[in-house]
Amino acid sequence: MTHILRIDASARRENSISRDLTTQIVEKLSPATVTTRDLAEGVPLLDEAWIGANFTPADARSPEQAETLALSDALVAEVKAADTLVIGLPIYNFGVPAALKAWIDQIARVGVTFRYTETGPEGLLSGKRAIIALASGGTEAGSAIDFATGYIRHLLGFIGITDVTFVTADRMAIDPEATLAGARQQVAALAA
């Protein structure tokens, strides 16, 4: 059975297009085991203690450093356990929400989810699929003012996830009915 990691990044819990789309996508891919991570509940930003703990070899970390990395370790374990990531991506001010960026910072760890080699960086999480449920009032996906889709695609590839599909509802302020109808068609077309 497929294991899905559902990531919701919208600050809205009600009337959120990206959350509605992640629900539709998960339902389309079911039956599956689903782990849900709601980033609106908060994800800590990196700080000096986190950086120090992360760059201390695991066998040399103090108990305090291990505790500092406990959430990051749990978030990485969720990603590693999943076959498919379903990520709700509302575009805020042309980019990803701060909570999603904080989650990315917690999981993009050298030696854990990627490594550097003589030929460049290598992602360590290959063989996974990601489906991104994008919602935007008027920032069209792939346009010159969209700094979210390229970033999330690059970051996922950086950690080894190169099978990335976008379901887009990116014109909600312009034509919500047609935009939602298009997004539902994209969900229906997804391979289970």
Q: Is 17 annotated as a binding residue?
A: yes
Q: What is the DSSP letter of 110?
A: B
Strands annotated E in 30-159? 32-38, 84-90, 114-117, 120-123, 129-135
Report whether 10 belongs to an annotated binding site: yes
- Give the CA distances from residue 25 to residues 8, 18, 44, 113, 130, in Å, rounded to whole numbers and listed in that order: 12, 10, 27, 25, 11
**Residue 16 annotated as part of some ligand binding site:** yes
Consult the annotation and say whether 159 binds a ligand: no
Which residues contribute to the annotated binding site?
Answer: 10, 16-18
Which residues contribute to the annotated binding site for FMN?
Answer: 10, 16-18
